[in-house]
Amino acid sequence: MGSGVTYLDYQSTTPCDPAVVEAMARWWTEDFANPASRLHRPGLTAAAVVQQSRAAIAGSLGFAPEELIFCSGASEANNLAIKGVAEAELQRGGTRRRLVCLATEHRAVLDPLRYLAGHGFELICLPPQVDGLIDLQRLEQALNPQTLLVSVMAANNEIGVLQPLAAIAELCRRRQVLFHCDGAQAVGHIPLQARELGIDLLSLSGHKLYGPKGIGALAIAPGIELAPQQHGGSQERGLRAGTLPVPLIVGLARAVELAEADREKRGQRLAQLRDALWERCQALGGIQRNGAAAPCLPHNLNISIEGVEGNALHQGLRRSLAVSSGSACAAGEPSHVLQALGRSRLEAAASVRFSLGRPSTSTEVERAGDVLEETLKTLRRA
């Protein structure tokens, strides 16, 4: 980055790939028509590229084009999925009121679920195992005839662990329970044929995979009813009103295409860099890894450091490194994910998430190790 700071916070957001910016360019200024304006050629041109993009994104996930709804990002997609399922159940006079999730979910999942819990629904928030993975036996016990929805993310945004999606989907299928998955950290980073896995609702976001901010999508399996959360037009099958942002949609499709093209090689390279960084951390002593080493995102490393105070640690690191102590949405609070794994508030505060990205190099990883070592020497001496 231009500031001289080494950026290792790619799970927070990624830079927009230059090829994505190029793909979007003409749709800002030349072919700028509203895709809902079907009475003239410019509108039809815009509608055609939206449909083309929809088909490409949906196909990469194993969904049909008409099963993909564009949103502003994964947070909106999560809200549409969770609240949409719950309100549709109320509208048709259904009696299922139980919602199940993992305590380590992103707040974009936890907050809508808690909202519903304040409006007559029952929320079961399952504790993870110490490695961050779901306890399938606990999940099975939480499923009963009143269970409407299970929401478990594919890849954790803080510790990177990959949940057993096919096994979760199978438990849900047996009880005729809907399975929603927040795939924001997974799409473009791991193989994810969502329909084959049995996922009913999948959320994704462009800016987590080198696409533009402000665009995401919700994939919806056939036969699932959702109540719209945004009213004011018939766009997106009546589920999400508002003029479609054609440039952002084109950018999302291009970003997904590029991410899938280099996913395997990128993952192998970043895993090697991540493992080298972990070896360096281990050599410093008093450092524990948070979450399972496998299965895990190849570009994630989350550590807790003994004997240092969290604020001092991050003040020391931020002069040279852009890293985080948890989710970008946590507003400085110690990570609820790490506390769910059994870390104390102080231990969670003295934790660092390194997340590597497409531009990351071995030189940057070496520098991160040097900065961490010098910071810990200073703090531990004090």
Three state DSSP letters for 121-137: CEEEEECCCCCCCCCHH
Asked whether the predicted pLDDT for residue 316 surpasses 60, the reply is yes
Assigned superfamily of 6-14+263-381: Aspartate Aminotransferase, domain 1 (3.90.1150.10)
What was the pLDDT predicted at 260?
98
Region 115-143: what's the mean pLDDT? Answer: 98
Question: Which residue, among 218, 191, 151, 210, has the nearest Cα to 297 in the 3D structure?
Answer: 191
pLDDT tens digits for range 3-27 = 689 999 999 999 999 999 999 999 9
What was the pLDDT predicted at 327?
55
Neighbours of 92 (CB within 10 A): 9
Please tell me the distance from the alpha carbon of residue 242 to that of residue 50, in angstroms, as a whole number. Answer: 14
Task: Specify whether the CB–CB gap between 82 and 180 falls below 8 A.
Answer: yes
What was the pLDDT predicted at 3?
67
What was the pLDDT predicted at 285?
96
Task: Specify whether the CB–CB gap between 134 and 152 falls below 8 A.
Answer: yes
Look up tokens 């399975």; give the residue: 179
CA 14 to chain centre: 12
pLDDT over 70 percentage in the chain: 97
Task: Specify whether the CB–CB gap between 103 and 151 falls below 8 A.
Answer: no
Q: CATH topology of 6-14+263-381 equal to that of 18-258?
A: no
> Does residue 151 sit in helix, strand or coil?
strand
pLDDT tens digits for range 195-220 = 999 999 999 999 999 999 999 999 99
CA 163 to chain centre: 13
Residues 6 or more apart in contact with residue 160 via CB below 8 angstroms: 11, 185, 291, 296, 297, 299, 300, 301, 302, 355
What was the pLDDT predicted at 325?
83
Please tell me the distance from the alpha carbon of residue 288 to that of residue 341, in angstroms, as a whole number. Answer: 12
Asked whether the predicted pLDDT for residue 328 surpasses 80, the reply is no
Look up tokens 């050629």; give the residue: 41
Q: Strand ranges (DSSP E) for the chain? A: 6-7, 68-71, 98-102, 122-126, 147-151, 178-182, 201-205, 216-220, 287-289, 300-305, 321-322, 351-355
Please tell me the distance from the alpha carbon of residue 9 to that of residue 12, in angstroms, as a whole number. Answer: 6
Domain ranges of the chain: 6-14+263-381, 18-258
> Does residue 24 sit in helix, strand or coil?
helix
Q: Which CATH number fits domain 18-258: 3.40.640.10, 3.40.50.720, 3.40.190.80, 3.30.390.30?
A: 3.40.640.10
**58 Rama sector, left if φ>0, alpha if ψ -120 to 50, beta otherwise:** alpha
Neighbours of 114 (CB within 10 A): 15
What was the pLDDT predicted at 154?
98
Q: Within the chain, what is the greatest distance between any pair of CA atoms?
A: 72
pLDDT tens digits for range 46-64 = 999 999 999 999 999 999 9
Asked whether the predicted pLDDT for residue 138 surpasses 60, the reply is yes
Q: Does residue 16 have an active-site annotation?
A: no
**Choice among 16, 281, 296, 329 that is catalytic:** 329
